[in-house]
């Protein structure tokens, strides 16, 4: 069995900054209200005039990651693309990236695990490399939330939270023992699926019915979230996934050099930090600048932390995420 390690990182966010005060133009809210509940100060939303989309953002992040890995697009053997907001209902973003980067006809897999999408994707890529099937895999998390949010007071509980952006990592084969991805741990609990979801469009109420109804009050096309219920489960499952990873590798919480939690809510991250008694330098958060970018959040934060020199050789880096599904998981990395 081979080991896999991250050899390149990159991220891209739109130039268009939307502050909490900007949101007051179309909903009853305030900067204080949003920061108190989420920790978010601003987020990036795609400017429709730019023509940017989920796949194009992923491509921009991927180019940076591939270059930093010292590779070319032709060295990539496989693509794993995580998103809940593909450009089209089908096909997914993986094949779009393959085309936009003018890559050989390599395989492309799409992962639809929402907030834990990058964790799941990294785990999938790790298995392909460990077994020797592939040598270099491009793993992308990218989201275009802004185009599907309800920009009104009715939708503010969800709309204020989400932002657009993309991150990418190149995962490569290594024979160096004890380095790279040590383990990954994935879970789900589908009985809570409707606590955080987007109900339409779906094959349960498909195109003919949608066209016939033409109901302007139909809210099924906007995301729904039972915020308190999600928060309660998130803090529990985050902790469990981190502990599981530590125990699997005979490590203690004191061994964590950097925790990168999914940027869902700053209050969740702060709760986890306090529970594990981690100093500020050992946890990286950027939700205040980007909001929740779902499948892109962990990889954007990981890239930023690495760029700022907060992750060093031989550090124990823990990635953790929880989200819709419910799905959650962790990845333990020896940098």
Going by C-beta distance under 8 Å and a sequence separation of 6 or more, which residues neighbour residue 120?
82, 111, 113, 186, 327, 329
Structure token digits, residue 149: 């949010």
pLDDT at site 202: 76
CA 131 to chain centre: 25
d(CA 22, CA 18): 6
| The model's pTM | 0.93
pLDDT in tens, the chain (335 residues): 899 999 999 999 999 999 999 999 999 999 999 999 999 999 999 999 999 999 999 999 999 999 999 999 999 999 999 999 999 989 999 999 999 999 999 999 999 999 999 999 999 999 999 999 999 999 999 999 998 899 999 999 999 999 999 999 999 999 888 899 999 999 999 999 999 888 877 777 777 777 777 787 777 778 888 988 998 999 999 899 999 999 999 999 999 999 999 999 999 999 999 999 999 999 999 999 999 999 999 999 999 999 999 999 999 999 999 999 999 999 999 99
Instruction: Name the residues annotated as catalytic.
Output: 115, 262, 292
Q: What is the C-alpha to C-alpha distance for residues 194 and 197, in angstroms, rounded to an integer?
A: 6
Give the Cα separation of 301 and 320 in Å (integer). Answer: 12
Instruction: For residue 37, give the nearest of 195, 264, 285, 239 by alpha carbon.
Output: 264
Q: How far apart are CA 331 and CA 125, in angstroms?
A: 12
204 burial level (CB within 10 Å; 0-12, 13-18, 19+): exposed
């Amino acid at each position: 069995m081979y080991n896999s390690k991250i050899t390149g990182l990159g991220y891209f966010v739109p130039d268009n900054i939307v502050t909490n005060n900007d949101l007051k133009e179309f909903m009853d809210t305030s900067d204080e209200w949003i920061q108190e509940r989420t920790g978010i100060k601003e987020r990036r939303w795609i400017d429709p005039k730019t023509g940017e989309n989920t796949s194009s953002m992923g491509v921009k992040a991927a180019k940076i990651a591939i270059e930093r890995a010292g590779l070319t697009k032709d060295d990539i053997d496989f693509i794993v693309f995580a998103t809940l907001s593909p450009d089209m209902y089908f096909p997914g973003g993986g094949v779009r990236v393959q085309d936009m980067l003018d890559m050989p006809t390599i395989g492309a897999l799409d992962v639809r695990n929402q907030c834990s999408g990058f964790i799941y994707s990294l785990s999938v890529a790790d298995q392909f490399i460990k077994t020797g099937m592939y040598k270099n895999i491009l793993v992308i998390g990218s989201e275009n939330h802004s185009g599907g949010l309800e920009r009104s007071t009715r939708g503010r509980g969800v709309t204020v939270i989400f932002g657009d952006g993309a991150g990418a990592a190149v995962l490569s084969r290594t024979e160096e023992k004890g380095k790279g991805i040590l383990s990954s741990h994935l879970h789900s609990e589908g009985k809570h699926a409707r606590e955080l979801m987007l109900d339409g469009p779906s094959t349960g109420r498909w195109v003919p019915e949608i066209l016939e109804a033409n109901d302007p009050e139909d809210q099924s096309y906007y995301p729904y979230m039972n915020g308190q219920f999600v928060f309660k489960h998130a803090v529990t499952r985050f902790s469990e996934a981190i502990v599981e990873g530590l125990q699997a590798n005979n490590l203690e919480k004191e061994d964590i050099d950097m925790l990168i939690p999914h940027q869902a809510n700053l209050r969740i991250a702060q709760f986890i930090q306090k529970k594990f008694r981690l100093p500020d330098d050992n946890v990286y958060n950027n939700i205040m600048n980007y909001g929740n970018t779902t499948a892109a959040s962990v990889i954007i934060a990981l890239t930023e932390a690495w760029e700022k020199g907060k992750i060093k050789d031989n550090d124990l880096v823990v990635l953790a995420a929880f989200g819709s599904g419910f799905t959650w998981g962790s990845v333990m990395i020896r940098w």
